[in-house]
Amino acid sequence: MGATDPRRSIPSVDRLLERPWCRDLIAAHGQSWITGRLRAVLDEMRAGRRQVPDTDEGFAASVRTEVAHASSPSLRRVVNATGVVLHTNLGRAPLAAEARRAMAAAAGYGNVEFDLRTGERGSRYHHCVELVRELTGAEDAVVVNNNAGAVALALTAFAAGRGVAVSHGELVEIGGGFRIPEVVEAAGARLVTVGTTNRTRRADYRRATERGDVAAILKVHRSNFSMSGFTEEAELAELVELGAAHGVPVIHDLGSGLLVDSAALGLPYEPTPAESIAAGVDLVAFSGDKLLGGAQAGVLAGTAAGVARAKSHPLCRALRSDKVTLAGLEATLSLYRDPERARERIPALRMIGTAGRRLERRADAVLAAVGRRGAGLRRALRAEVVAADSLVGGGAFPDARIPTAAISLGAGERAEEWLARLRAHDPPVIARRRRGRLLLDLRTIAPEEDAVVAAALASLAASVP
């Protein structure tokens, strides 16, 4: 270290701890944690990885930046401008205001396992059941942590140590790591594949059940891909009939949990849990946070005997959902008592159903707001409103393209840098690339977030040379 090395002027931790600005930080974050942050900052300065400021304000700014960075929560709210409604990486379904309020209220004490009428111990598995029964026609239901858990629980309770018949064409992988053959194996059951990839008939299932040791028939909804051409699959009702004849329960892994008519959302046909129940399956499993639009949960609905068997298995306790989730799911489900209200109040359904013209008007208004913040800002981004396609996401409706309006930015070579700048905004704005441009799809941006998007775009534009 030479005589002119600025590192000679680095103060000690003890000296910084006495500065008034440091006392403010200690009041907010505690002495020992702030001491640790100070050490980290000074160590980086000594190692030459961080510039040494030449004033006390400079040190204060360095430490404040470090503290702000280290104390910001890991899980943060973001603006989803990707146009993928059920974006798995961005938390799938955004919850309705009714659900958010119910979840905040449930965060304190609640009658989770307490019967308010009798004052005695109640059951956590009691909540949401009446609503699921109403909405699906099932005799009974149990809510667990997620749909993967619901399927694993059903298979474990019914088929551990025995065979599960599944069509070759339904040995699917959904999302990260949910692969039917592996789930069957994890349930301690043996996979008995029937039929072929493109064609599986009732007779294929019959041969498997007649060979014996098939403890359950599992039908899996091909959520995230479609098959066309010469294909054939057995109807649920046929499997139910076959199962009844051989005393083999039918379990239906439905995935999405859509509780309204898909045509009312402008989407192609998608089966509902009520249809599975009407077809007579023993259990149907579906997600709470896909097209149902609620909190992360898995619902197993079906016959009283089927649900009782699942509930009495020890795995059910390991998969139980917490009070906040149950409150969010209950509030969401209760919106479905009026399907029209569900489509208006549940954000995922509302987003899917919003007309492109309305999104175009909002996109125009956001760009106009950017223009008002400074002449030339909009030009710096080479911003325009374009037509694009939104996706349902969440592994549902893989082929559906929903016409939408997006703000398109001419980022050219700097697309990665601009995406990163939008992510660095508070709150982060997540956009997507289309060739050399960035797209911000209005469909997945809540109208009350338009101002945030305008601010993020204005600050991006201000940073563009």
Locate 131 and state its tokens: 């609503």
Q: What does the block give as tokens for 98? A: 């009714």
Amino acid letter, residue 339: P
Q: How far is the CB of 158 from ligand PLP (least distance, A)?
A: 17
Say if residues 353 and 46 touch (Cβ distance below 8 Å). no
Of 200, 223, 276, 404, the residue at the interface with ligand PLP (CB under 6 A) is 223
Residue 396 or 439 having the CB closest to ligand PLP: 396
Q: Tell me the closest approach of the beta carbon of residue 76 to ligand PLP, in angstroms.
A: 22
175 touches ligand PLP (CB under 6 A): yes
Span of 109-117, 174-182, 261-269, 328-336 interacting with ligand PLP by CB under 6 A: 174-182
Strand partners, 216: 164
Chain centroid offset of residue 282 CA: 28
Piece of 36-44, 115-123, 217-225, 407-415 that binds ligand PLP (CB under 6 A) = 217-225
Q: Is 255 in the site for ligand PLP (CB under 6 A)?
A: yes
Which segment (69-77, 249-257, 397-405, 408-416) binds ligand PLP by CB under 6 A? 249-257
Taking the complex as a whole, the smallest distance from the CB of residue 221 to ligand PLP amounts, in Å, to 5
What gap in Å lies between CA 311 and CA 421, rounded to an integer?
48
Q: Other C-beta atoms within 10 Å of 307: how many?
A: 24
DSSP notation for 18-74: TSHHHHHHHHHH-HHHHHHHHHHHHHHHHTTSSPPPSSHHHHHHHHHHHHHHHHS-S
Which amino acid is it at 69?
Answer: H
Annotate each residue in 3-22 with x if it binds ligand PLP (CB under 6 A) or - if it does not, as one string.
--------------------
Instruction: Compare residues 293 and 442 and give the one whose CB is closer to ligand PLP.
Output: 293
User: Residue 11 and residue 55: Cα distance in Å, rounded?
Assistant: 11
User: Residue 43 or 225: which CB sits closer to ligand PLP?
Assistant: 225
**Residue 296 has what DSSP assignment?**
S
By residue count, the chain amounts to 465
Nearer to ligand PLP, 319 or 385 (CB): 319
Nearest approach, Cβ of residue 456 and ligand PLP (Å): 30
**Pairing relation of β-strands 84-86 and 384-393?**
parallel
Assigned token pair, 188:
């301690």
Please select the residue that binds ligand PLP; options are 158, 178, 397, 418, rule is CB under 6 A: 178
Binding residues for ligand PLP restricted to 289-328, rule: CB under 6 A: 298
Residue 367 tokens, joined: 């760009």
| Residue 316 CB, nearest approach to ligand PLP (Å) | 15
Give the sheet arrangement for strand 163-167, strand by strand. Answer: 140-144, 298-302, 283-287, 250-255, 214-220, 163-167, 190-194
User: Contact with ligand PLP (CB under 6 A): which of 193, 236, 395, 402?
Assistant: 395
Residue 273 beta carbon to ligand PLP: minimum distance, rounded to whole angstroms: 12
User: Measuring CA to CA, which residue among 119, 206, 221 is closest to residue 174?
Assistant: 221
Question: Per CB under 6 A, does 146 bind ligand PLP?
Answer: yes
Our finding on whether 148 is near ligand PLP (CB under 6 A) is yes
- Candidates 253, 270, 282, 449: give the one binding ligand PLP (CB under 6 A): 253
Residues in contact with 308: Cβ distance below 8 Å, sequence separation at least 6, in sequence order: 140
The answer to whether 18 touches 34, Cβ cutoff 8 Å, is no
Tell me which stretch binds ligand PLP (CB under 6 A): 153-161, 252-260, 307-315, 329-337: 252-260
Site string for ligand PLP, 352-391 (x = CB under 6 A): ----------------------------------------
- The runs of H, that is alpha helices, within 110-178 are 129-136, 147-159
Which token pair is 437? 């441009």
Q: Are residues 395 and 174 in contact, defined by beta-carbon separation less than 8 angstroms?
A: yes
Using CB under 6 A, count the residues that bind ligand PLP: 16
In the complex with ligand PLP, the residue whose CB is nearer, 298 or 302, is: 298
CB nearer to ligand PLP: pick between 5 and 182: 182
Among 206, 221, 309, 378, binds ligand PLP (CB under 6 A): 221
Residue whose beta carbon is closest to ligand PLP = 255
Q: Cβ 404 to ligand PLP, closest distance in Å?
A: 23
Whole-angstrom Cα distance, residue 236 to residue 218? 10
Q: Distance between terminal CA atoms of the chain?
A: 37
Instruction: Please tell me whether residue 287 binds ligand PLP under the rule CB under 6 A.
Output: yes
CB 285 within 8 A of CB 136: no
Judged by beta carbon, residue 220 or residue 366, the one nearer ligand PLP is 220
- Among 174, 184, 208, 402, interactor with ligand PLP by CB under 6 A: 174
Measured CA to CA, the distance from residue 340 to residue 356 in angstroms comes to 20
Contact residues for ligand PLP, defined by CB under 6 A = 146-148, 151, 174-175, 178, 220-221, 223, 253, 255-256, 287, 298, 395
